[in-house]
Amino acid sequence: MNALGLVSTRLCPGLMGRRSAVNLPSLRFSSGMTLSQIDEEVARLLQLKAQLGGDEGKHVFVLKTAKGTRDYNPKQMAIREKVFNIIISCFKRHGAETIDTPVFELKETLTGKYGEDSKLIYDLKDQGGELLSLRYDLTVPFARYLAMNKITNIKRYHIAKVYRRDNPAMTRGRYREFYQCDFDIAGQYDAMIPDAECLKIVYEILNELDLGDFRIKVNDRRILDGLFAVCGVPDEKFRTICSTVDKLDKMAWEDVKKEMVNEKGLSVDVADRIGEYVSMQGGQDLAERLLQDPRLSQSKQACAGLTDMKLLFSYLELFQVTDKVVFDLSLARGLDYYTGVIYEAILSQTIQAPVSTPAEQNGADEAGVSVGSVAGGGRYDGLVGMFDPKGRKVPCVGVSIGIERIFSIMEQKAEASSEKVRTTETQVLVASAQKNLLEERLRLTNELWNAGIKAEVLYKKNPKLLSQLQHCEETGIPLVAILGEQELKDGVVKLRNVASREEVDVPRVDLVDEIKKRTLLS
Amino acid sequence: MNALGLVSTRLCPGLMGRRSAVNLPSLRFSSGMTLSQIDEEVARLLQLKAQLGGDEGKHVFVLKTAKGTRDYNPKQMAIREKVFNIIISCFKRHGAETIDTPVFELKETLTGKYGEDSKLIYDLKDQGGELLSLRYDLTVPFARYLAMNKITNIKRYHIAKVYRRDNPAMTRGRYREFYQCDFDIAGQYDAMIPDAECLKIVYEILNELDLGDFRIKVNDRRILDGLFAVCGVPDEKFRTICSTVDKLDKMAWEDVKKEMVNEKGLSVDVADRIGEYVSMQGGQDLAERLLQDPRLSQSKQACAGLTDMKLLFSYLELFQVTDKVVFDLSLARGLDYYTGVIYEAILSQTIQAPVSTPAEQNGADEAGVSVGSVAGGGRYDGLVGMFDPKGRKVPCVGVSIGIERIFSIMEQKAEASSEKVRTTETQVLVASAQKNLLEERLRLTNELWNAGIKAEVLYKKNPKLLSQLQHCEETGIPLVAILGEQELKDGVVKLRNVASREEVDVPRVDLVDEIKKRTLLS
C-alpha cells in the first residue's frame, strides 16, 4: 500500500512524447493560447502521428490491460459469482440494505482521509470542470453519502471496485483495481452490539467460503493511544509509531524496535515499554488484567477501550465466535479514520505464488498487508462529521472483505480439483442429424426460449451432429433435443442425455415439461 | 448514442473557469512550459483557492457527487436488482457466459474507435506510468479482450458502468456514469443467425420489463453506404452525412436537408435523392422492393445488405418478433465500428421530467439520443482485427441495453404505485417486551442466523416493544419473535405476525421450521 513515492518521479515514455510534441519549434505556443486550444493542438498532432503510424505505416497496439488490473474470464466469473453469492447472502441474513455510489468522487471528498496512503489515489485528468479522483475505498463514499442525505442510521452493504496506485503483486491477489465487500452499521446504539455483529459476519463468511483455518485479531485505537501515552511517546508521534507497530505481523520485534529508535526517535526505554504490551494476546481475561495494570490503568482512554473490549467479548461469546477471535495489542491498522475497535482477519493458509516476477519479489512490495489478511475494519465515529457542515457525528462501525485473495485461493482450488466449472446454465442444445433443418431448429429453440428453457442452437445452416454433441461435452450442456425428418413427421423430439447417451422420443407438446423435470434433478 | 457532435461545441462553465485562470497576466506561460507543468500549475492554484476556502477560515466541503453521476439509495438498488435479474436471466437463457474487464483501459486502446465522440472520453491524470482512460463502452474492451486472448468465438454478456463526459440530463436518465448491459456473439457463423438472436433478446427483455409498447428499428451500414454512393454523395462525406441522417428521429426532413446542403455542402439534388430513401420503412417486402430499385441495385454493397436484410427478417419471423421490428432506412447510429446490421429499440412511452433545470431545457441537450431509445447495437466485423497484430478478423454482433432510462421509468412506476418496495429481506425481528433481556435476544438471534434465517435485533439494551414493532412496520419485516421471562421459562417464543397482529407460542426447537414455513408462503 505504500512506498510508492518512487513511481511518480519517473517519467514514462508517453509523457516524454507529449512533451516534445508541444515543444516543436514550429508551433505558435504563446501565453495567448488557452488550455483547450492546446488540447486541440495536441490531439491534432497525435492523430497525425497515428495516421503516419509506425514506420511501416501500420500502428501496432499494445495488447494489455492497465498495470495491476486484469480481465475476468468466464471461469473466473463463475467463481466470483459463487463467492459473491455467499457474501451477499450473509449480509442479507443480517438485515442489510445495499447502496451504490459513483466510481469517482470530487477530489476534495477523499482529501485528508487516508493519511500517508493518499498518494496512492488515482486522479482523473482535468478536462475542464470538477477535479475528480477514483474511490480508494467504499467507506469514505459511504460517509459522504450519509452526510449528504442526512441519514443517521442505516445498515448497508456495498460491493464494488476500488482503486489504488499500489505496487501490484497479482499472483498473490494484490491488484490496483479490486473488489471490496463492505458491511457497515451507522447509528447511535448501545456499546459494542453492532461491533460484535460485524465480527460475527466475518466469522460466518470465512467459515462458509471454506478457506481453512483463520483468526480474527481485535484491538482498539483508544487502547493503542493510551498505551503510547503511558509509555511516554510524545503526542505528535502517535500516528507514526502506530504504523511502525503495524509492521509486527511481518517484522521481528527487534527490527520494529530499531525503526522506533533509529528512524522515529524514541528512546530505548520507551520502545521497550511498548514492546512489553504489544506482545500480548488473549481474550476477555487479558482485557480484565490490563484494566488492573498499574501503568495502563492511568490512561482514561485505554480504560474506556479495555472496558468496551470486555463487553465485546461477552457478546462474541453469545455469538459463539470466540474460538477464532483474539485480542491482540500489536494490531494497529493504517487508516486515519478509525476511532475505536479495529479488527483484521487472517487466513492460516497462504496463497501459492507459482510465478512471481522480480518486481514482485522486492521488499517494498511486502510492506502493506500481511499475506493472509482477507478482511478488516473497525469503528469510525468521526468520519461522517467531517462531511457534515455542522459537524454532526454519526457513529459507524464496519467491515470490508477483501475478496481478491479469496478469489485467488478459490481459483487455485478449482484448478486443483477435477470438477469442471460450468460457465453457462444452458439446459438443452437444439440439434439436428440431417441437413436443411435450420428453420426447424430455430423454430423449436424459439418455443423453448418462450417457455423459459435455457436453450442454445449452433449458428450454422448444416452443422454435423458430432460437432453439436461436442459443444455439449465442452460446455456441460446436459441435454440435446434432436430433430430429424422422421421426428417432425411424428410430432416428437429425440431427447438425448449427453452423459449417459440415452435417447428417448418425447412428444413435442411434453418437451418443455420433460426438460424441466430432468434439469431440476441434475 | 449518436449525433453527439453538437454537445461538444458548447463550452461548459468549468472549462471557462480554467481558461481564465491560465490567462492570468502574472503567470509565466511560455512555449517552454509543458502540458504537465500547466496541469500542475492549475492544480496548485486551485488547491490554493481551496485552502483560502470560505472566508471564515473553515474549510467547507462541497457535499455532492460528481457532475452527471448519482448515488443509488436502497430503494433504487432494489429496483435495479429486479431489472438486472430480468436481463441476466434472459442472457443466460440464451446460453451466454459473462466476463469482466477493468474500468480503465490504455488510452490508445480507445483511440480511433468512436469517431467524433472520442472527445467525450474521460482520461486519467498522468501520475507516472501508463496513460489511461475510463471505458466509453463495453464493446471496445470486449474486442481488446478477444484479440488479447486469441478467442475466435464466444457468446458473452457484460454488465458494467461506462463513462462519457456528455452533457447530462439526469431527469431523463442520461448520466455521465451509467450501466450498459451488453450481449455479444463473436465467431464466424452463417449469415444473420446470431444477428436475429440479438434482436430476439431485445424483444424478450423489453417485453418482460413491461415498459409498454416499443419498436425496434433495423438498418444496415452497407445499405446506407450504398445509398449514399448511388445518390452521389462523395466518399469522404459518408460519415458526416450519416450523422446528419441520424438526426431524423428528432428533426424534420426539411431541417436535416438544410444541414446537408448548407453545412455539409451537398447539392439539393443529392439531398432530395437521399430524402426519398430515408423516409422508407417496412419489412421483408421493402428489402425485396429495394433489391429491384433501379438506382440502389447498382450498388453491390447495398445489394449485399438488402439480401441479408431479407434473410434476417425470415429468421425474425421464426422468432415471432416481426410485430415490433421495422426496417427503417433513416436509422444510422454514430459509432465508427459498425460494418453491417444496426438496430435501435425505442419505447413509445416517454419519461416524464418533472423537474428540469434551464440547462437541461436548452436545445443542445436534446441532441444526443432520441428520448425513448433503450437499446442499440449492430454488427462490427472489423473491430477485433484492429487489435490483432496480424489483423485477423473475428466477426461480432451484439446489443447493448441502456438501462438508466429503464430505471427512471421503473422508479416512476414504483413512486406511482401504492406498493411499498422492500429494501431488506429480513424474515424476523427478535424482540423482547421486558428489560434486561439483551443477552437472551442476542442468543436467539445467533441461533436463527446459524440456521440460515434472516434475522435482525435492535442494537439497544432495552428497546421498547413499540419501537421494535415500528421497525418491522417501516421495513416490512413480516414476523417478530418475542422473548419474555415467561417464554424463556416455558421454552417457547411468541411469534407475532406483523400484518395480522396474531401471536402464537412456538416451542423454541420448532421456531426455525415455523419461520421458514411462514416466510416461504408470504
Of B33-47, B81-95, B267-281, B332-346, minimum mean pLDDT range: B33-47
Give the pLDDT mean for A165-173.
Answer: 77
Amino acid at A57: G
Pairs from A511-519 (Cβ < 8 Å, separation ≥ 24): A511/A447, A511/A448, A511/A481, A512/A447, A512/A448, A512/A451, A512/A453, A515/A427, A515/A428, A515/A448, A515/A453, A515/A479, A515/A481, A516/A453, A518/A478, A518/A479, A519/A427, A519/A428, A519/A478, A519/A479
CA distances from A444 to A314, A451, A508 (A): 63, 11, 9
Beta bridge partners of A447: none
CA dist B310 and B280 (Å) reads: 15
Mean pLDDT of A266-295: 96
Report ipTM (2 d.p.).
0.84
Q: How far apart are CA A216 and CA A486, in angstroms?
A: 66
Q: Which pLDDT score is estimated for A201?
A: 98
Q: Partners of B129 in the beta sheet?
A: none
For residue B61, the model assigns a pLDDT of 65
Whether B73 has its CB under 8 Å from any CB of chain A: the answer is: yes
Q: Summarize the confidence of residues B362-385 as an average pLDDT.
A: 70
What single-letter DSSP state applies at residue B443? H
B109 has a pLDDT exceeding 80: yes
Instruction: Report d(CA A218, CA A324) in Å as an integer.
Output: 11
**What does B316-373 look like in DSSP terms, one character per residue?**
HHHTT-TTTEEEETT-----TT--SEEEEEEESS----SS--HHHHSHHHHSSS-TTE
Strand order in the sheet with B281-282: B97-98, B154-163, B177-186, B396-402, B373-379, B341-347, B214-220, B325-328, B281-282
Q: pLDDT per residue over B34-63, tens digit each?
A: 555 555 555 555 555 544 443 444 556 689
From CA A447, how far away is CA A449, in angstroms rounded?
A: 6
Inform me whether the C-beta atom of residue A19 falls under 8 Å from chain B C-beta atoms.
Answer: yes
User: Helices B193-209 and A438-450 meet at what angle, rounded to 10?
Assistant: 20
DSSP B25: T
How many residues appear in chain A? Answer: 522
Tell me the shortest Cα–Cα distance from B490 to chain A, in angstroms. Answer: 21
Instruction: Enumerate the residues of chain A whose CB falls inside 8 A of the CB of residue B29.
Output: 31
| In the predicted structure, residue A255 carries a pLDDT above the cut 80 | yes
Task: Tell me whether residues A101 and B65 touch, CB distance under 8 A.
Answer: yes
Q: What is the DSSP letter of B12?
A: P
| Chains A, B: CB pairs < 8 Å | 312
Contact A193 B438 (CB under 8 A): yes
Break chain A down into helix, strand, coil percent, rounded to 5.
45, 20, 35
Quick one: which H or E segment has residue A377?
Answer: strand A373-379
pLDDT at B26 over 80: no
Question: What is the pLDDT confidence band of residue A317, given thresholds at 50, 70 and 90?
Answer: very high
- Measure the CA–CA gap between A498 and A503, rounded to whole angstroms: 9
Residues ≥6 apart with Cβ < 8 Å to B251: none
B389 touches chain A (CB under 8 A): yes
Q: Spell out which residues of chain B touch residue A9, defining contact as CB-CB under 8 Å.
A: 128
Chain A CB within 8 Å of residue B57 CB: no
Residue that the C-alpha cell 487472517 belongs to: A346
Report CB contact under 8 Å: B100, A77: yes
Q: Which pLDDT value is given to residue A61?
A: 63
Whether the CB of B32 is below 8 Å from some CB of chain A: the reply is yes
pLDDT at B357 over 50: no
Residue A32, helix vs strand vs coil: coil
pLDDT tier for residue B415 given thresholds of 50, 70 and 90: confident
Q: Taking a contact as any Cβ pair under 8 Å apart, which residues of chain B between 289 and 318 contact chain A?
A: 315, 318
Q: What single string gives the DSSP state of each residue in A201-265?
A: HHHHHHHHHT---EEEEEEEHHHHHHHHHHHT--GGGHHHHHHHHGGGGTS-HHHHHHIIIIIT-
Q: Shortest CB distance from B92 goes to which of A29, A129, A425?
A: A425
Bridge partners (DSSP) listed for residue A100: B72
Closest residue to B103, CB basis, from A10, A177, A425? A177
Mean predicted confidence (pLDDT) in B118-135: 94
| Chain B residues within an 8 Å CB radius of A8 | 127-128
Chain A 416-435, CB below 8 Å of chain B: which residues? 423-426
Rounded CA gap, A200 and A315, in Å? 10
Q: Which of A221-230, A281-290, B5-14, B176-185 has the lowest mean pLDDT?
A: B5-14
Nearest to A95 among B14, B128, B426 (CB): B426
Inter-chain touch B389–A60, beta carbons under 8 Å: yes
Phi and psi at residue B335, in whole multiples of 5°?
Answer: -65, 145
3-state SS class at B464: coil
Closest residue in A to B103 (Cα) is A177
Q: What pLDDT is recorded for position B46? A: 54
Contact A15, B127 (CB under 8 A): no
Q: Which of B319, B95, B93 is nearest to A446 (CA)?
A: B319
Q: With an 8 Å Cβ cutoff, are A23 and B34 in contact?
A: yes
Contacts of A123 in chain B (CB under 8 A): 124-125, 127
Spell out which residues of chain A touch residue B452, defining contact as CB-CB under 8 Å. Answer: 93
> What is the phi/psi pair of residue A186, to 5°?
-110, 135
Give the predicted TM-score (pTM) of the model: 0.84
Q: Are B377 and B398 in contact (CB under 8 A)?
A: yes
Of the candidate ranges A230-234, B48-52, B246-250, the one whose mean pLDDT is the lowest? B48-52
* Residue-level pLDDT at A44: 58
Q: Which of A158, A318, A404, A448 to mutate to test the interface with B (most CBs of B within 10 A)?
A: A318
Least confident of A21-30, A112-121, B158-167, B388-397: A21-30
Subunit contact B189:A104, Cβ cutoff 8 A: no
**What is d(CA B348, CA B371) in angstroms, rounded to the nearest whole number?**
9
Count the neighbouring beta carbons within 10 Å of the beta carbon of residue B472.
20
| Residue B120 DSSP code | G
DSSP E strands in A408-487: the ranges are 428-432, 455-457, 479-483
The pLDDT of B342-347, averaged and rounded, is: 95
Distance CA B251, CA A85 (A): 48
Condensed to tens digits (0 to 9), the pLDDT of residues A465-494 reads: 999 999 999 999 999 999 999 999 999 999
- Whether chain A has a CB inside 8 Å of the CB on B61: the answer is yes
pLDDT band at residue A41 under the 50/70/90 scheme: low
Cross-chain Cβ contact A11/B128 below 8 Å = yes
Q: How confident is the model at residue A357 (pLDDT cuts 50, 70, 90)?
A: very low
> How distant is the alpha carbon of residue A91 from its chain centre?
15
Helices A300-318, A284-291: crossing angle, 10 deg rounding: 160
pLDDT given at position A158: 98
The answer to whether A69 contacts chain B (CB < 8 Å) is yes
Residues of A in contact with B446 (CB under 8 A): 200, 318-320
A451–B contact, CB cutoff 8 A? no
Say if A357 is an interface residue toward chain B (CB within 8 Å): no
> Helix or strand or coil: residue A118?
helix
CB B440 within 8 A of CB B457: no
CB distance from A467 to chain B under 8 Å? no
CA distances from B286 to A500, B231, B319 (A): 49, 18, 19
- Three-state secondary structure call for residue A481: strand
- Reported as a pLDDT band with limits 50, 70 and 90, residue A348 is confident
SS3 content of chain B, % helix, strand, coil (to 5): 45, 20, 35
Mapped onto helix, strand or coil, the DSSP state of residue B68 is coil
Nearest residue of B to residue A443, measured between CA atoms: B318
**Cell numbers standing for residue A453:** 428453457
Question: What local confidence, expressed as pLDDT, does residue A118 receive?
Answer: 87
Residue type present at position B354: P
In a 10 Å sphere around its CB, with 0-12 CB exposed, 13-18 middle and 19+ buried, how is residue A295 labelled? Answer: middle
Average of per-residue pLDDT across B229-238: 94
DSSP state of B122: P
Residue B399: what are its φ and ψ, rounded to 5°?
A: -140, 145
Q: A319 and B424 in contact by Cβ < 8 A?
A: no
Distance between CA atoms of residues A128 and A102, nearest Å: 19
Contact: B77, A96; criterion CB under 8 Å: no
CB contact under 8 A, A66 and B106: yes
Helices A35-52 and B35-52: crossing angle, nearest 10°?
150
Per residue in A414-458, pLDDT tens?
A: 888 877 889 999 999 999 999 999 999 999 999 999 999 999 999
**3-class SS of residue B166:** coil
Contact A126 B193 (CB under 8 A): no
Of all residues in chain A, what percent carry a pLDDT higher than 90?
A: 70
Q: Are B365 and B6 in contact (CB under 8 A)?
A: no
Q: How far apart are the first and last CA of chain A?
A: 46
State how far the Cα of B104 lies from the Cα of B123, in Å rounded to an integer.
9
Torsion of CA A381, A384, A389, A390, to 10 degrees: -30
Q: Residue B353: which residues within 8 A CB-CB, separation 6 or more?
A: B169, B171, B172, B360
Judged against a pLDDT cut of 70, whether residue B162 lies above it is answered with yes
CA–CA separation, B115 and B118 (whole Å): 6
- Pick from A477-491, B1-15, B226-240: least confident: B1-15
Interface membership of B152 toward A (CB under 8 Å): no
Name the residue of chain B whose CA is nearest to A149's CA.
Answer: B63
